[in-house]
Amino acid sequence: MIHARPGVTRADAARLIGVGTGATTELVGRLGHAELLAETPAAPSGSRGRPTTALIPHPRGPLIAATSITHEQWRVDVVELGGAALATVREDLGDRTGDEVVAAVGAAVSRLRTEYGDRIRGIGIAVPGTVSRDLMLDASNLNWRNVDLAAIWPKAGIFVAGNDATLAASAESHRGAAVGASVALHLRVEAGLGGAVVDGGRVLVGALGAAGEFGHMPFGDPTVECPCGAYGCWGTAVDGSALARLLGHHQPRDPISYARRIIASTDPAPAAATATAATALGRGIAGLVNGLDPDLVTLGGLGTDLLAAAPAHIDQAYRAGLMGFRRENPPPILPSTLGDDGPLAGAAEEAWTALLTTLV
Ligand SMILES: [Zn+2]
């Protein structure tokens, strides 16, 4: 309850769990003794009755190291119960190889474990690629193959790693724009495009754990080769590489920052390229909505930028591609509320889910 509803009052927690005053006192006492929660005076609610307290994470309670690796930087947050970050370390990738980035992240996690001691119980990692069951990372857009993520914390009690877009989808359904949706489709444009279907709060991960690679559906230009090896991938029609191709620029080394600059520009050529990418995004979303029947679609990463810059182009292509019966009341396309923090928030959430089962 404290994790799902940070700052919940003791009175509300008791009501939501359905326990009486005596049982609540005993429960709060035991969880406090176990150094899982503490109490602090709650802001007056304005209603009658005795003042209550807010239940907060214990100052010596367990923590998670939540990590994200993007195409441009890595970051480690120390996250407490409820999802708040106590510390953040980050650095640009620069020219590092995958193994060098893993070593840099591992050194940062090791320093944080020295600083916070045994409180850091596990790690969750979001990566821009696919992760095998034995924690090997392939990130085709970074040209990384077989990068051993386990080296970040070799003997971690809890070690969860997953695709950034999949984890962002999970976070969006737990704490973002898709809370309460029965079937949510989350799409994230970075270098390429990924995402996930969340069915009743559960992310569909697929038989190999590699579902959600929507950016590699052939909705794009069939003459364009994707870094994955296929031709015509949708991701190559909506990301920074698409904008660079449309504008006759070299492929950018910083594809996300580059794309943000182009999408933010109001000059005619960048605006036209942005409109073309937005149209390709809207068309593909229509295809996925026809096939998956979600009740809403959330857009993260550069998808949020495209939605803000060219909403009419996305909407027009989306509606044109929808089956007729869906057009009257199409599932809304919403910006992600967690934004660039989505993958990291999802990594923290997955690690906390694993940790919570060991605490109770
Ligand atoms: Zn591809």
pLDDT tens column, 271-287: 999 999 999 999 999 99
Q: How far is CA 185 from CA 117, 149, 297, 298, in A?
A: 39, 28, 5, 6
Do 139 and 206 belong to one domain? no
In a domain, 2, yes or no: no
d(CA 234, ligand 1 centre) in Å? 8
d(CA 231, ligand 1 centre) in Å? 7
Q: How far is CA 151 from CA 164, 226, 227, 339, 351, in A?
A: 19, 29, 26, 28, 17
pLDDT tens string 261-270: 999 999 999 9
- Which domain covers residue 111, as residue numbers? 63-164+343-359
Do 215 and 85 belong to one domain? no
d(CA 327, ligand 1 centre) in Å? 29
d(CA 188, ligand 1 centre) in Å? 15
Mean pLDDT value across residues 344-350:
94
pLDDT of 52 above 90: no
pLDDT bin (cut points 50, 70, 90) of residue 133 is confident
Mean pLDDT value across residues 243-259:
94
In a domain, 76, yes or no: yes
- Provide the pLDDT for residue 46: 60
Mean pLDDT value across residues 18-46:
88
Q: What is the CATH number of the domain that holds 227?
A: 3.30.420.40
d(CA 17, ligand 1 centre) in Å? 46
d(CA 236, ligand 1 centre) in Å? 8
d(CA 82, ligand 1 centre) in Å? 36
Do 114 and 230 belong to one domain? no
In a domain, 91, yes or no: yes
In a domain, 171, yes or no: no
pLDDT tens string 176-220: 999 999 999 999 999 899 999 999 888 998 887 778 889 999 999
- Provide the pLDDT for residue 48: 59
Contact 149, 328 (CB under 8 A): no
Of residues 44 and 177, the one with the higher pLDDT is 177
d(CA 302, ligand 1 centre) in Å? 18
Do 214 and 328 belong to one domain? yes
d(CA 133, ligand 1 centre) in Å? 22
Residues of the chain above pLDDT 90, percent? 80
d(CA 121, ligand 1 centre) in Å? 36
d(CA 218, ligand 1 centre) in Å? 8
Q: What angle do CA 281, 283, 286 make, to 5 degrees?
A: 110
Do 46 and 193 belong to one domain? no
Burial class (CB in 10 A: 0-12, 13-18, 19+), 114: exposed
pLDDT bin (cut points 50, 70, 90) of residue 47 is low
Do 183 and 245 belong to one domain? yes
d(CA 232, ligand 1 centre) in Å? 7
- Provide the pLDDT for residue 205: 84
Mean pLDDT value across residues 77-94:
95
In a domain, 5, yes or no: no
Do 140 and 51 belong to one domain? no
Do 190 and 327 belong to one domain? yes
pLDDT tens string 137-163: 999 878 899 999 999 999 999 999 999
Of residues 110 and 206, the one with the higher pLDDT is 110
Do 153 and 200 belong to one domain? no
Do 328 and 217 belong to one domain? yes
Mean pLDDT value across residues 46-68:
86
Do 116 and 207 belong to one domain? no
Q: Which of 132-146, 293-307, 336-350 has the lowest mean pLDDT?
A: 132-146
Mean pLDDT value across residues 90-94:
94
d(CA 143, ligand 1 centre) in Å? 13
d(CA 227, ligand 1 centre) in Å? 6
Do 141 and 197 belong to one domain? no
DSSP β-ladder status, 296-301 and 183-190? parallel
Mean pLDDT, the chain, as a whole number? 93
d(CA 330, ligand 1 centre) in Å? 28
Q: What angle do CA 114, 90, 347 make, to 5 degrees?
A: 80
pLDDT bin (cut points 50, 70, 90) of residue 45 is low
Number of domains forming the structure of the chain: 3
d(CA 229, ligand 1 centre) in Å? 6
pLDDT bin (cut points 50, 70, 90) of residue 5 is confident
In a domain, 40, yes or no: yes
- Provide the pLDDT for residue 206: 85
d(CA 228, ligand 1 centre) in Å? 4
In a domain, 3, yes or no: no
Contact 63, 121 (CB under 8 A): yes
d(CA 140, ligand 1 centre) in Å? 9
pLDDT bin (cut points 50, 70, 90) of residue 15 is very high
Of residues 43 and 319, the one with the higher pLDDT is 319
In a domain, 229, yes or no: yes
d(CA 81, ligand 1 centre) in Å? 37
- Provide the pLDDT for residue 50: 64
